[in-house]
């Protein structure tokens, strides 16, 4: 059985609350979580911070319910794009970007949605669920995205918080389902508090509300999340070539280059 | 049916005068209800609800998501523990997804943050006796 994945745990400023959130996710049965770092260009905060490593966050990783294995913590970068120039950062070799496992974009207009689906080198395209969709989702761009293995993300916590947002969540989700027919969807939380998190089976059932079939809904919290991780991995390494090196001695890891980048130079 | 009749015949030959009869019955979707074991979680530890208020809360959750038609769903609270805020609910098969999604999207009660944790669901009440989510116990 595929493991459950929640790819959107927002990065909180206080370490203690982030710890609580990850612990709650592990308790509910998520095997993998991704901590989400949002970069918004409209706000004047342009630098991309280095993601927190799991070692900094926990001395001992919390165990997943029913698995007795520690939870896996990844990092994810979300770019809120309202102008095509904002995407340059993904193409260029900018600082700190190599530390992230998954890239996501949050397109603000229909043109950018098309660009994100067809040309941008990302893993996830976020769908806005807090307001009415400002553009129509078109079939050609979605078809290309499905072929390229890009997934669409729907978040469910706004639906818990507020009843008007719940309406937008359901209507936007249904309009997306009409186009993509339940393929390439991931459901994730974006929960800021442990109480806003829901168990993976609950979220899979919520997929029914968004117009997914039973099997697609379960895939949206498990196998599709894994596919996103693998897509990210293939992008990080040289188009899927993985080269691992066994260390002879346990030396101190240098933090400047991740293991995947070192592999590239060795090829 | 063919199978069962042949079995009966065989035993008739074997035992002689006392025919033991076997019957093979296959039931599909035998249960018309689903059962849910749920637990209500509040941010504050000190919060008590009696059974009537608990049922009211479930109906209001259904009403919030599915409207009047959803509130008309036949939901029964079979057992309710006031100290742990946990309960076993019974709902007709068609209403399972409705009830479950309503519980999932229930976020606050009287301006207090809360969450329903669905511990188990099953079409048979007996299955709730064991825990299927934490089968790997050490």
Q: Tens of pLDDT along A218-245?
A: 888 888 888 888 888 887 776 666 777 7
Q: What is the pLDDT of residues A164-213, one digit of tens each?
A: 888 888 888 888 888 888 788 888 888 888 888 888 888 888 888 888 88
Distance from B75 to chain A by nearest Cα, in Å?
A: 18
**Which of A159, A193, A201 has its CB closest to that of B105?**
A159
> Are residues B97 and A208, on separate chains, in Cβ contact within 8 Å?
yes
Whole-number pLDDT of residue B31: 86
> Are residues A195 and B64, on separate chains, in Cβ contact within 8 Å?
no
Q: Which residue of B has its CA nearest to A162?
A: B107
Distance from B84 to chain A by nearest Cα, in Å?
A: 16
Q: Looking at residues B58-64, what average pLDDT do you find?
A: 88
| Dist. CA B13–CA B30, nearest whole Å | 34
Q: What is the pLDDT of residues A105-141, one digit of tens each?
A: 888 887 888 888 888 778 888 887 777 777 778 888 8
Please give the structure tokens belonging to residue B65.
Answer: 């998501």
pLDDT > 70: percent of chain A = 82
**Which of B43, B65, B100 has its CB closest to that of A205?**
B100
Q: What is the pLDDT of residues A156-175, one digit of tens each?
A: 887 777 778 888 888 888 88
| Dist. CA A126–CA A187, nearest whole Å | 10
ipTM > 0.85 (yes/no): no
């Amino acid at each position: 059985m595929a493991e459950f994945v929640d790819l959107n745990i927002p990065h909180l400023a206080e370490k203690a609350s982030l710890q609580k959130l990850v612990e709650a996710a592990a308790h509910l049965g998520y095997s993998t979580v991704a901590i989400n770092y949002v970069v918004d260009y409209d706000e004047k905060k342009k630098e991309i911070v280095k993601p927190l490593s799991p070692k900094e966050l926990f001395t001992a990783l919390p165990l997943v319910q029913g698995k007795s294995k520690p939870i896996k913590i990844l990092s994810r970068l979300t770019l809120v794009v309202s102008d095509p120039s904002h995407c340059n950062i993904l193409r260029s070799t900018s600082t700190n970007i190599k530390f992230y496992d998954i890239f996501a974009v949050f397109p603000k207009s229909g043109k950018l949605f098309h660009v994100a689906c067809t040309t941008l080198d990302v893993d996830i395209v976020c769908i806005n669920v807090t307001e009415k969709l400002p553009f129509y989702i078109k079939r050609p761009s979605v078809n290309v995205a499905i072929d390229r293995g890009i997934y669409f993300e729907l978040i469910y916590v706004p639906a818990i918080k507020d009843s008007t947002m719940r309406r937008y969540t359901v209507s936007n989700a249904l309009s997306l389902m009409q186009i993509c027919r339940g393929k390439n969807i991931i459901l994730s939380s974006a929960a800021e508090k442990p109480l806003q998190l829901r168990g993976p089976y609950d979220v899979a059932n919520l997929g029914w509300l968004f117009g997914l079939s039973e099997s697609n809904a379960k895939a949206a919290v498990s196998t599709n999340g894994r596919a996103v991780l693998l897509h990210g991995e293939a992008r990080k390494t040289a188009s899927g070539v993985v080269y691992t090196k066994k260390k002879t001695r346990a030396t101190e890891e240098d933090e400047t280059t991740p293991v995947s980048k070192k592999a590239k130079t060795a090829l | 049916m063919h199978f069962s009749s042949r079995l009966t015949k065989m035993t008739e030959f074997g035992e002689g005068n006392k025919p033991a009869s076997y019957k093979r019955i296959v039931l599909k979707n035998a249960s018309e209800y689903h059962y849910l074991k749920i637990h209500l979680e509040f941010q504050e530890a000190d919060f008590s609800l009696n059974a009537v208020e608990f049922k009211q809360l479930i109906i209001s959750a259904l009403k919030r998501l599915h409207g009047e038609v959803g509130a008309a769903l036949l939901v029964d609270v079979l057992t309710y523990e006031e100290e742990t805020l946990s309960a076993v609910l019974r709902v007709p098969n068609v209403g399972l997804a409705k009830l479950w999604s309503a519980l999932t999207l229930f976020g606050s009660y009287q301006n207090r943050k809360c969450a329903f944790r669905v511990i188990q669901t099953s079409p048979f009440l007996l299955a709730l006796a064991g825990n299927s989510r934490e089968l790997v116990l050490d």
